[in-house]
Structure 1
């Protein structure tokens, strides 16, 4: 940054007084300077995620993730990591906090089998602000028959995927909440009270195959008759991506809504594939999508377009090209094994075994 024209101090022409959070252009200038240095040191900025930088030289590899002025660095050669930290310390007054334990609200616990991510401190914060720290917990975040008509803890879904659907439902009424919506949010917070120790496990898995579960709840919204799509994507045994989202248009059949969900899942898998390729850990096997709707499955494998698919041509050809080029494999899975079911509807406790899979 430079002193503005007309206000240059002749005695200290290079001095500027600024704050990283005080000026609109400061974060951009900081990131530009940091990324320029990283590029000069041999890092490559990821195209899939601009905050990710990858360094690879021979068998040595390092990953660097930037969030404003917080940085996570990991690699497979400790001496190279220490050399890099010393080099970047000469450029910026950074502080090495040691082994990762807490990052933007995420708590990291190390186990013999891998990592465990949780947000118990953040959840306790929400309960305190809501005045429900000593409330009675409930078994499920939402009634199975709950339907809505016209500050949530949305960030909890980072490590609590089983809350994605309920937050998707209540967040649609931020503009005009009613007493029913308030009661629903209160129930969610009471559910969080009883499950504060829940989180995500990341295990050392022998398998690195990408496996996606795709599902849709046809005409779930009783006001607009739009469907809800949901998916979960696993890298080996670890959940790496999930989504719960209302579809932008009305589907005329359950097969159509399921096929739109299939296309969204495929797009998510393609993005993860690009990211893994940049990280130099792309699995050799082609990704697989599992779904519990045979109509959508047969439609994806049918090479002849018919009247059932003319109005969804973009999604139809997108999936068909991926399958025909052998970049994707679609298979059927029974409903009781459908791990994306929790992202499209509220499940009762006896059938909510998917929570144990994620937590």
Structure 2
């Protein structure tokens, strides 16, 4: 530590400044800012969500307000069902802090929000364009799918010469999956070799970029739902990894027909059967659904019907509905059986779905283009309902979106 140039005290040149409060650039600054803001919100009638500590809920006299804080850049999104209540609170907030109301939500950190006639459209077109520019793939030939059907990911001795560049592109693709669930499986696969990428792995990354080149303006469509049912699709591909023989699982959760949560991951342990891998996948899906129900309950928007998980494996469904000992389930960790308890308690339902309608299949394996397009449409990923030509270079006001809030209001 040393005194900054131009402000050196000649009498005490070895002294340094004593920090009396947190300032920008230090690790404790976001924590101090969030603590100061949360105390103010609690004093003004908000309650902090236990499911998401960055979410605050105001509920008085049927007047609702939801406030979400993005701590690291001090951005706040505020919405509610009563305009005058929102305006009055913004005035109170402005008197306490030096804030600026940027108006309607449009753009934040690569996330673009467009309002349609019956909902919203989320995409990251400008961010995807920046990735293609960085990778020098703007003139690449588009590909119909993120991965070819015969691809196999294994480690080889031919290492990619620029591992830092590989990690940079893959890291950017991970952020792109916020609005592009159709590339989640492909990004998950190439992310498993960040420690030692090979030339073959980089070719698969280029394949993902070629797919993005042809679907640059694609994003997620959300419409105001007529029903608020919570539905989850769970799937697993047994022993997908050729090196570890671990299974890949995925899930997609819909609220009123709108996709709100999805995942594509490798299971931490080896499964002895497809039934076991599917059962573990359903347990992970159930854990996500439980968290979503807690969040919806705090938002005062919990659907009246119990959530449902759809799976295409009859044996796994049998294990969830029958509390009996079975040789296939002897070795499964006990904590996975909380799924069975939720079903027996009537808090969750499990049902069978044919494989051709199992939309979570897109998160577990590479598919042919025809089937891939069907599942992509079921996820409601597609082109915008308007032309984006000429809009990618525009600048928008900074905000952040919290998708669940839109469906409630």
TM-score by length of 1: 0.94
Secondary structure of the equivalent of 2:192? helix
Whether the 8 Å CA contact 1:260–1:315 is kept in 2: the answer is: no
Counterparts of 1:154-173 in structure 2, within 5 Å, are: 154-173=174-193
Cα deviation, residue 241, structure 1 = 0.4
Secondary structure of the equivalent of 1:310? coil
Q: 1:111 aligns with which of 109, 113, 116?
A: 116
Q: 1:77 aligns with which of 68, 74, 82?
A: 82
Cα deviation, residue 313, structure 1 = 4.4
Q: 1:292 aligns with which of 303, 309, 312?
A: 312
The Cα offsets for residues 315-347 of structure 1, whole Å up to 9 and x where unpaired, read as 553111100100000000000000100000111
Cα deviation, residue 16, structure 1 = 6.7
Counterparts of 1:252-291 in structure 2, within 5 Å, are: 252-291=272-311
Q: What residue number does 1:90 align with? A: 95
Q: What residue number does 1:134 align with? A: 139
Q: For 1:316 and 1:55, how far apart are their aligned partners in 2? A: 35
Q: 2:104 aligns with which of 99, 123, 147?
A: 99
Q: For 2:257 and 2:108, how far apart are their aligned partners in 1? A: 23
Whether the 8 Å CA contact 1:300–1:320 is kept in 2: the answer is: yes
Q: For 1:295 and 1:288, how far apart are their aligned partners in 2? A: 17
Whether the 8 Å CA contact 1:259–1:315 is kept in 2: the answer is: no
Q: 1:53 aligns with which of 49, 56, 61?
A: 56
Alpha carbons of 1:332 and 1:83: their partners in 2 closer, same or farther (altered >3 Å)? same
Whether the 8 Å CA contact 1:309–1:316 is kept in 2: the answer is: no
Q: For 2:258 and 2:276, how far apart are their aligned partners in 1? A: 29
The Cα offsets for residues 122-181 of structure 1, whole Å up to 9 and x where unpaired, read as 001101111111221111110112111121111111101011100110000000000001
1:122 aligns with 2:142: no
Secondary structure of the equivalent of 2:212? helix
Counterparts of 1:63-74 in structure 2, within 5 Å, are: 63-68=66-71, 69-74=74-79
The Cα offsets for residues 196-226 of structure 1, whole Å up to 9 and x where unpaired, read as 1111111111110100000000000000000
Gaps of 5+ in 1: 1-6, 8-14
Q: For 2:122 and 2:136, how far apart are their aligned partners in 1? A: 25
Cα deviation, residue 357, structure 1 = 2.1
Runs of 4+ aligned residues of structure 1 deviating over 2 Å after TM superposition are 15-20
Q: For 2:22 and 2:269, how far apart are their aligned partners in 1? A: 47
Q: What residue number does 1:36 align with? A: 39
Q: 2:329 aligns with which of 282, 291, 309?
A: 309
Q: For 2:177 and 2:336, how far apart are their aligned partners in 1? A: 30
Whether the 8 Å CA contact 1:300–1:316 is kept in 2: the answer is: no
Q: For 1:159 and 1:284, how far apart are their aligned partners in 2? A: 28
Whether the 8 Å CA contact 2:230–2:255 is kept in 1: the answer is: yes
Q: For 2:53 and 2:110, how far apart are their aligned partners in 1? A: 21
Secondary structure of the equivalent of 2:177? helix
Secondary structure of the equivalent of 1:65? strand
Q: 1:357 aligns with which of 378, 383, 391?
A: 378
Q: What residue number does 2:221 align with? A: 201
Q: What residue number does 1:12 align with? A: none
Q: What residue number does 2:207 align with? A: 187
Whether the 8 Å CA contact 2:283–2:337 is kept in 1: the answer is: no
Q: Which has the higher contact order (CA 8 A, sep 6+)?
A: 2
Q: For 2:337 and 2:216, how far apart are their aligned partners in 1? A: 44
Gaps of 5+ in 2: 1-8, 10-18, 156-167, 382-409
Q: For 1:49 and 1:70, how far apart are their aligned partners in 2? A: 16
Q: What residue number does 2:401 align with? A: none
Q: 1:144 aligns with which of 143, 149, 157?
A: 149
Q: What residue number does 1:210 align with? A: 230
